[in-house]
């Protein structure tokens, strides 16, 4: 049995792992994906700005740093494990059940599942799936793929606008189509879109995908006006669908031991990372309380709170907070390595 089991290996889960290890607890991370990093793998080349004291850097570099830090104290990591049920047997004894039929026992739990298990909403056109291995895309993994290409983006939310703006610098052309008359993303993104050479197709939706005669790739997209039904054909090299995500939250609704929710989705935080169930704590995007700010930076505070609360739950006589300091003996050897490397580079 571990002291704390963390559900989710994204930024919140990884920092919770680090801080729990700092507090001397044994840690297990369970994650549905095949690698640590969580939702950040959806946009690896996106530049991250919302972490204090971290200069803007590509997301994949942030992931590397988070994983290195999260694994510092040697947690047990179980990937491709989907938690489907939680049962509180008694105080300081929870059982976590996974889709593979495995059971994990833990004294406490930190739920850090982000927005839930995310799956991109797919294009609802018959036969569209056959292009998913060629040029029908639901996430942008590499900007290089779209260099000097004619790109069509379907959607008008923040992700679609981000991709349109980022890719416009490298693509031959970018066209964005959306079902409404107005774009729904943030105002500053709409203003930026107006300044860039991006073709906008309001009130238009993808009606049909036409392919090359000799290979399974989309060569043209038929757009249809949602009101007049007039059609327009757009030649393309790449198609990006940004219709949002299906956020699965079955665990929080179906678990034998349930925490209180807000808006039937988010975990209700009791002013911090504490939930309605003693011994279960929340961190990151899945946690909601009045003082919450939804930034990546905020999840680290949630994670530290959750770890401290877990420590107090397991050992009521323990100190309320940990000590992250260069003078903490647990960092002594690592400090020597870092300083030695810094001197060598100077």
The residues spanned by each domain of the chain are 2-118+246-341, 122-243
> What is the distance, to the nearest Å, from the Cα of residue 34 to the centroid of all Cα atoms in its chain?
14
The whole-number average pLDDT for the span 57-81 is 95
Region label for 253, one of left (φ > 0), alpha (ψ between -120 and 50) or beta (otherwise): alpha
User: CA-to-CA distance for 331 and 78, rounded, in angstroms?
Assistant: 25
CATH fold for domain 122-243: FAD/NAD(P)-binding domain (3.50.50)
337 versus 195: which is more confidently predicted? 337
Residue ranges of the binding site for FAD: 31, 39, 43, 83, 118, 285, 326
The pLDDT of residue 183 is: 81
Q: What is the mean pLDDT of the chain?
A: 92
The pLDDT of residue 46 is: 83
The pLDDT of residue 184 is: 73
User: CA-to-CA distance for 50 and 53, rounded, in angstroms?
Assistant: 9
In the structure encoding, which two tokens stand for residue 76, read together?
A: 């047990």
The whole-number average pLDDT for the span 163-176 is 93
278 versus 336: which is more confidently predicted? 278
The pLDDT of residue 215 is: 84
Which of 280, 307, 281, 298 is closest to 27 using CA atoms? 307
Residue ranges of the binding site: 31, 39, 43, 83, 118, 285, 326
Domain 2-118+246-341 has CATH 3.50.50.60: yes
Give, in degrees to the nearest 5, the angle at Cα 13 between 12 and 18. Answer: 100
Determine which of 148-162, 231-245, 330-344 has the lowest per-residue pLDDT on average. Answer: 330-344
Decide the pairing of beta strands 103-111 and 280-282.
parallel
Q: pLDDT band at residue 185, thresholds of 50, 70 and 90?
A: low
The pLDDT of residue 283 is: 97
Region label for 187, one of left (φ > 0), alpha (ψ between -120 and 50) or beta (otherwise): alpha
Question: pTM for the complete prediction?
Answer: 0.83
The pLDDT of residue 40 is: 86
Using a pLDDT cut of 70, give the percent of the chain over it: 98
The answer to whether 245 touches 116, Cβ cutoff 8 Å, is no
């Amino acid at each position: 049995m571990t002291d704390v089991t963390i559900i989710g290996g994204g930024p919140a889960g990884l920092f919770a792992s680090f801080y729990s290890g700092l507090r001397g607890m044994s840690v297990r991370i369970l994650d549905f994906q095949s690698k640590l990093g969580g939702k950040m793998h959806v946009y690896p080349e996106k530049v991250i700005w919302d972490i204090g004291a971290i200069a803007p850097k590509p997301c994949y570099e942030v992931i590397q740093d988070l994983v290195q830090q999260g694994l510092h104290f040697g947690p047990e990591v179980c990937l491709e494990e989907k938690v489907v049920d939680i049962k509180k047997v008694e105080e300081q004894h929870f059982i976590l059940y996974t889709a593979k039929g495995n059971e994990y026992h833990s004294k406490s739990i930190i739920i850090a599942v982000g927005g839930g298990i995310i799956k991109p909403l797919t294009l609802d056109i018959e036969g569209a799936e056959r292009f998913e291995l060629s040029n029908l895309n639901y996430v942008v993994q590499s900007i290089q793929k779209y260099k000097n290409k004619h790109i069509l983006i379907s959607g008008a939310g923040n992700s679609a606008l981000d991709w349109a703006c980022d890719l416009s610098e490298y693509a031959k052309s970018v066209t964005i189509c959306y079902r409404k008359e107005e774009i729904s993303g943030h105002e500053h993104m709409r203003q930026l879109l107006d300044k860039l050479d991006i073709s906008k197709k309001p009130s238009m939706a993808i009606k049909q995908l036409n392919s090359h005669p000799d290979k399974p790739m989309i060569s043209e997209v038929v757009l249809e006006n949602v009101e007049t039904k007039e059609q327009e054909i757009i030649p393309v090299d790449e198609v990006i669908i940004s219709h949002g995500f299906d956020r699965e939250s079955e665990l929080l609704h179906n678990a034998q031991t349930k925490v209180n929710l807000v808006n039937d989705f988010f975990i209700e935080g009791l002013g911090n990372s504490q939930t309605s169930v003693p011994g279960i704590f929340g961190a990151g995007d899945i946690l909601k309380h009045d003082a919450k700010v939804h930034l990546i930076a905020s999840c680290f505070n949630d994670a530290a709170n959750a770890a401290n609360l877990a420590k107090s739950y397991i050992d009521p006589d323990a100190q309320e907070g940990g000590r992250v300091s260069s003078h903490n003996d647990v960092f002594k050897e690592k400090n020597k390595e870092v300083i030695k490397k810094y001197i060598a580079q100077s």
